[in-house]
Amino acid sequence: MPVEQIDTEALLNDLLRDFPSRTEKIREKKDSFLTDAVLLGEIPSPTFGEQERVRTVVDRFRENGLSNPGVDEFGNASAQLPGTEGQSSILIMAHADCVFSPEVRHEIQVGSDSMTGPGIADNALGLAAMISLPRLLKELGIELRDNLILVANCKSLGRANLEGAHGFLETMSQPVRAGICVEGSTLGRLSYSGLGTLRGEITLQVPSDYDWKRFGASGAISHLTGLINQIREIPIPKEPKTQLVFGGLKCGSSYNTSPRQGSLRFEITSEEDGIIGQMENQLNEICEQFSAETGTLVNMEVVAKRQNCGIPYTHPLVKTTRSIMQKAGITPQVDPSTGDLNALILGGLPAVTLGLTTVENLREINETIQLDPLYSGMCQLVTLIQAIDQGICEA
Amino acid sequence: MSMKENNWIDRNTFHHSDFWDLIKLVEEKEKKGLKISLCIPTLNEEKTIGKEVLILRSELMERYPLVDEFAVIDSGSEDKTLEVASNYGADVYLASDILPEVGNKRGKGENLWKAIHQLKGDIICYVDADISNIHPRFVYGLVAPLIHREEISYVKAFYDRPLNYSSGLRPSGGGRVTEILIRPLFSLFYPELSQIIQPLSGEYAARREVLEKIPFPIGYGVETSHLLDLYQLYGLETFAQTDLDRRVHRNQTTNALGKMSFGILQTFFNRLHTQGKLDRMPDLETFYRRFEVEDGNYRQLIQEVVEEERPPMTEIEGYRNRPDIS
């Protein structure tokens, strides 16, 4: 067995030895990051409208004495905890946007062992955990050699197409050893690959000069139904794994009036970029043909597109993460990401996404996080950062 | 008619953002050697108490040591209020265990009164337990004027309760009981006190040296009695008020508000008696005083409301002379 491998294992074992006592210490220090989760979660932060939440994150960075706190030209908040050597850096990212509109009452309820409210898991908790890292490291007596770069990235979800994360990585000038995306949901989540994704919106409009006497004439709802049926005829391969999801349908506003326009939102994910390309062409053809045959105006807009990417299951970063989870009694759930991880890996960084605790009603108004599992979730994050810092996760 | 009666409202009305620099505030508090106690009176508040204790303790004791002591004083909750509060690190007391020799009366005022004995602070800040959008400003916004200005001894909260955005103008006031009962009563008997924008707000901070000198109604009248008694003892200059922006809380039924008004009226008329206002009734004021806010500036609107009266018709000669009336 090579000497280096033995050292790596010994180092990791050293780190893991303290896992239970560290988890308890984190539990004792919970108030600060639970408070941040509530305060951040109660600030509405829809995609493209994250400014107030991001400003609060920067205030926290300042209050925690970090270096270079600020908001970049893309709207991301970032700051640094300088390492003792500072030759390299570790990037921690948590997205600042959430799926709820500002009209939703952003109120978090705090119980003895849980918290409930819109966006508490996705991703107020992830943000709060990221912000709390410098304090927790200090409490645990951990000094990193690397700089720790903390980023609350905006414009991550939906139509935003990871704009904030891409922008930050494009302008980042420091060498980075590895990256971790932090999500509140779900403990055990282990993403080390980004799934090829295409998100689109098809709009259908019945034109003003539409011939209502023609054979088969109807309003937008009937047309959209016909269009959806045609799209469902597209063959979807089982291998490579591919999926087509209809995520939203908007049409009509009354009981007795045929609407003249409507829209359909969908997402294609596939392990093979070529399949996504083929399906995009097929969708375009269906839309064109449908438009010609029905006399309606059909337009397909691609709002987000991501390539497949990833690091191998055997990459030391993934292996180390699995070992840490095993020690913590967490069962890894391998789950390809369609989120910020894609931006990191496509940017050439070895990176993973971790979840922090068990969650119920994800993305519902009554989204609920359990507090008890959270402390080992936080401990896995701290331990992984330390492992990266000690060079255990190098390929 | 609109006019500024005097400039108390300008000098003694604050916005919580005036005190955003908590490091400076803590320094000032320490320089003056003040100790601050925070008290939350509770009765079956398991839904909101956890968040209040978590956020206020974490932000104002651990991150910024503004508060020296944090107590939940409970009237005998039957839900998990005490368990949740102590899980998040509050000192929890049963009101009945404090000064047991004076007996136990059940009501919020009892808890506030016993807090004076139980807590050590030079300043005591009271915060209701039912605030669902709790934030550290609910405490630092109230104690800061006491830290900065020695002549102030009692600071009331007021809130943003927007009712009308469309014109840019909105009435700024309290809830229904404030607008329908308290403000008209103050306009009649204590016109100066009508400058206090939300006299019934449950959040206030005060110096021990004034709290220990006044009686505490046990029930609904406690906020009203504080204002009337301290006004009698020290005048308007002892008060200040702070805008804490929005407060989200439970809405009460009209029946509950009726009961509350009945309690407040008892307290109010007791004061009128003891302060001699009923025996030597002055001419009643005819100016009704309320508030309006525009672009963050509060101004008092004073409107003359004269309730003229006609005599009984039988006193009118023309009526008496009608052929069919005699």
| A contacts of B65 (beta carbons < 8 Å) | none
Residue B198 lies in a domain: yes
* Interface touch A107/B59, C-beta < 8 Å: no
Residue B314's pLDDT is 85
Which single residue is written with the structure tokens 């605030």? B131
The Cα–Cα gap between A367 and A87 comes to 41
Whether residue A28 lies within 8 A of chain B, CB to CB, comes out as no
Does B87 sit within 8 Å of A112, measured CB to CB? Answer: yes
Q: For position B326, what pLDDT does the model report?
A: 64
Reported as half-sphere exposure (CB side, CA atoms, 13 A), residue A255 has a value of 0
Residue B1 has pLDDT above 50, yes or no: no
A52-85 residue pLDDT tens: 999 999 999 999 999 999 999 999 999 999 999 9
Contacts of residue A40 in chain B, CB cutoff 8 Å? none
Res. B173 pLDDT band, cuts 50 70 90 = low
What φ, ψ does residue A359 adopt, rounded to 5°? -135, 140
Check if CATH label 3.30.70.360 holds for domain A196-306. yes
φ, ψ (nearest 5 deg) of residue A98? -135, 165
CA-based nearest residue to B264, from B182, B194, B154: B182
Q: What's residue B246's pLDDT?
A: 81
Q: Are B238 and B152 in contact (CB under 8 A)?
A: yes
Report the CATH fold assignment for A3-194+308-389: Aminopeptidase (3.40.630)
Q: Which of B47, B58, B135 sits opposite A31 (nearest CB)?
A: B58
- Residues B203-216, mean pLDDT to the nearest whole number: 96
Q: Average of pLDDT values for B20-42?
A: 97
| Nearest residue in chain A measured CA to CA from B46 | A111
Q: Which of A38, A39, A112 sits opposite B83 (nearest CB)?
A: A112
* Over residues B90-118, mean pLDDT: 95
* Candidates B62, B88, B133; nearest CB to A107: B133
Give the integer Cα–Cα distance in Å for A151 and A164.
10
In angstroms, the CA B295 to CA A121 distance is: 37
Q: What is the pLDDT of residue A205?
A: 95
Q: Which domain holds residue B111?
A: 8-315
State how far residue B71 is from chain A, nearest Cα, in angstroms: 17
Residue identified by tokens 């047309």 is: A223
Nearest chain A residue to B84 by CA: give it: A112
Tokens of A300: 């397909």
Residue % of chain B over a pLDDT of 90: 59
Question: Can you tell me the mean pLDDT for B141-165?
Answer: 84
Tens of pLDDT along B113-146? 999 999 999 999 999 998 888 999 999 999 999 9
- Compute the distance between CA of residue A298 and CA of residue A264 in angstroms, rounded to an integer: 11
Contact residues, chain A, for B57 at CB < 8 Å = 31
Taking residues A145-158, what's their average pLDDT?
Answer: 95
Determine the 3-state secondary structure of A392 from DSSP. coil
Q: Which residues contact B201 (CB under 8 A, 6 or more apart)?
A: B156, B157, B158, B159, B174, B223
Residues of chain A in contact with residue B129, where contact means CB-CB under 8 angstroms, are none
Residues in chain B: 326
Q: Which residues of A touch B135 (CB under 8 A)?
A: 39
Q: Is the pLDDT of residue A2 over 50?
A: no
* A110/B50 touch (CB, cutoff 8 Å), yes or no: yes
* Total count of domains within chain B: 1
| pLDDT band, residue B3 (cuts 50/70/90) | very low
pLDDT at B165: 38
Q: Is residue B239 included in any domain, yes or no?
A: yes
Cα–Cα distance measured from residue A162 to residue A344, given in angstroms and rounded to the nearest whole number: 10
User: Which residues of chain B does A34 touch, with a Cβ-Cβ cutoff of 8 Å?
Assistant: 54, 58
pLDDT for residue B104 is more than 80: yes
Res. A311: pLDDT tops 80: yes
Q: Please report residues of A whose CB lies closer than 8 A to that of B87.
A: 112
A362: exposed, middle or buried (Cβ count in 10 Å: 0-12, 13-18, 19+): middle
B55–A35: do the CB atoms touch at under 8 Å? yes
pLDDT at B34 over 80: yes
Distance from CA of A39 to the nearest CA of B (A): 8
* Strand A351-357 with A359-360, pairing: unpaired
Residues of chain A with CATH 3.30.70.360: 196-306
Point out the residue among A32, A38, A63 whose CB comes nearest to the CB of B51: A38
- As a whole number, mean pLDDT of residues A83-109 equals 96
Question: What average pLDDT does this structure show over A34-42?
Answer: 97
Give residue B176's pLDDT: 85
Task: Name residues whose C-beta falls within 8 Å of residue A320's C-beta, 6 or more positions apart in sequence.
Answer: A12, A384, A387, A388, A392, A393
Q: How far is B80 from chain A (nearest CA, A)?
A: 9
Q: Smallest Cβ distance to B55: which of A38, A63, A109? A: A38
CB contact under 8 A, A31 and B84: no
Weakest mean pLDDT among A217-221, A227-231, B18-22, B145-149: A217-221
Taking residues A22-46, report their average pLDDT: 96
List chain A residues with CB under 8 Å of B83.
112
Would you say residue A5 has pLDDT above 70?
A: no
Per the model's pLDDT, the better-predicted residue between A130 and B326 turns out to be A130
The pLDDT tens digits for B289-316 are: 777 766 667 777 788 777 777 888 889 8
Could you say which of B47, B89, B135 has the minimum Cβ distance to residue A31? B89
**Token pair in block for residue A216:** 């088969």
For the stretch B39-86, pLDDT in tens is: 999 999 999 999 999 999 999 999 999 999 999 999 999 999 999 999
Work out the mean pLDDT of chain A and round it to a whole number.
Answer: 94
Which range among A212-216, A362-366, B185-189 shows the weakest confidence by mean pLDDT?
A212-216
Q: Where in chain A is the domain with CATH 3.40.630.10?
A: 3-194+308-389
Q: Which pair of tokens denotes residue A272?
A: 């093979």
Q: Which residues of A touch B58 (CB under 8 A)?
A: 31-32, 34-35
Q: Is the pLDDT of residue B162 over 50?
A: no
The average pLDDT across B199-203 equals 92
Q: CB-based contacts of B24: which residues, under 8 Å, 6+ apart?
A: none
Residue with tokens 């600020």: A70
The residue of chain A with its CA nearest to that of B57 is: A31
Q: Which of A88-97, A233-242, B294-303 reaches the highest mean pLDDT?
A: A88-97
What pLDDT, on a 0 to 100 scale, did the predictor assign at position B174? 58
CA dihedral A286, A291, A296, A300 (to 10 degrees): 50
CA angle B225, B226, B231 (to 5 degrees): 100
pLDDT on residue A260: 94
Strand boundaries in chain A, DSSP class E: 67-71, 77-81, 89-95, 109-110, 114-116, 147-153, 176-185, 189-191, 193-194, 196-205, 242-251, 261-270, 297-306, 309-310, 333-334, 351-357, 359-360, 368-370
- Reported as a single tens digit per residue, the pLDDT across B238-257 is 999 999 988 776 667 888 88
* CA separation for the pair A237, A255 (Å, rounded): 39
Percent of chain B with pLDDT over 70: 90
How far B231 CA sits from the closest chain A CA (Å)?
37
Greater confidence (B4 vs B35) lies with: B35
- Determine, yes or no, domain membership for B321: no
Concatenated DSSP letters of A223-256: HHHHHHHHHHTS---TTTTEEEEEEEEEE--SSS
| pLDDT at residue A3, rounded to an integer | 45
Q: For chain B, which residues lie within 8 Å of any Cβ of chain A, measuring from their own Cβ?
A: 46-48, 50-51, 54-55, 57-59, 62-63, 80, 83-84, 87-89, 132-133, 135, 248
Q: Which of residues 91-110 of A touch B (CB under 8 A)?
A: 107-110
CATH value at residue B103: 3.90.550.10
Helix (H, G, I), strand (E, B) or coil at A185: strand
Closest alpha carbon to B20 in A175, A55, A382: A55
B320 occurs within a structural domain: no
Q: What is the pLDDT of residues A170-213, one digit of tens each?
A: 999 899 999 999 999 999 999 999 999 999 999 999 998 888 88
Q: Is any Cβ of chain B less than 8 angstroms from the Cβ of A32?
A: yes
A295 with A354: CB under 8 angstroms? no
Q: What is the dihedral of CA B268, B270, B271, B276, to 10 degrees?
A: 130
Nearest residue of chain A to residue B80 (CA atoms): A112
Q: How many contacts (CB atoms, under 8 Å) link A and B?
A: 44
Query: If pLDDT is split at 50, 70 and 90, which confidence band does B6 have?
Result: low
User: Which letter does DSSP use for residue A159 in this model?
Assistant: G
- The answer to whether position B2 is within a domain reads no
**Cβ-defined contact of B58 to A32 (cutoff 8 Å):** yes
